[in-house]
Amino acid sequence: MIIQLAGLMAFFTDYVQWNLLLSVLLSVLLVMWLPLVATVLGFVGAIQVWLWPWWLALLVFLPGLALSIMAIAGVGAASLLSVFVLRKRQGQFAEALRRAQQQQGQTSQAPPHQASGEGDIIEGEVVSSKVDDDAPKT
């Protein structure tokens, strides 16, 4: 990354003729947010400004290029995976909502007064309306 940053700064200061502050700022931003662009421009800076042969510049900048491409592919794969996971969760949510609506339809047909001590089961939890007889009365 340091060689890539130096190649970018050399490209911007000597080849494009920008001032040092703008070159440093843009180089850091490109390295952090657009590593593929930074790798290619650093490669060009090494060939044009430092007068490296193309094969040496390729050997130096190829790992950065490979890592950038893998990062882009990884982000793409992660976004595709998240789409499938979200669709699966939406399907599970829709199924749970459908079951809840069916249960609500069944409970609305149940008698309004249930015997004391009987509770409803909502998603694995027991909700009871039983009142303890031992409770002090006020």
CA distances from 49 to 23, 25, 37, 130 (A): 14, 19, 17, 84
Question: How many other CB atoms sit within 10 Å of the CB of residue 42?
Answer: 29
Give domain limits for the chain.
2-105
Determine the pLDDT at residue 27.
94
Among 3, 128, 135, 136, residue whose Cα is nearest residue 60: 3
Nearest 10 degrees: CA dihedral of 93, 95, 101, 107? Answer: -110
Distance in angstroms (rounded) separating the CA atoms of residues 52 and 55: 8
Kindly tell me the burial class for residue 24, based on how many C-beta atoms sit within 10 Å of its own C-beta (0-12, 13-18, 19 or more).
middle
**Tens of each residue's pLDDT in the chain, 138 residues:** 899 899 999 999 999 999 999 999 999 999 999 988 999 999 999 999 999 999 999 999 888 788 878 888 888 888 877 877 777 777 777 888 888 888 887 655 545 554 445 555 555 555 555 555 665 665
**What pLDDT sits at residue 10?**
94
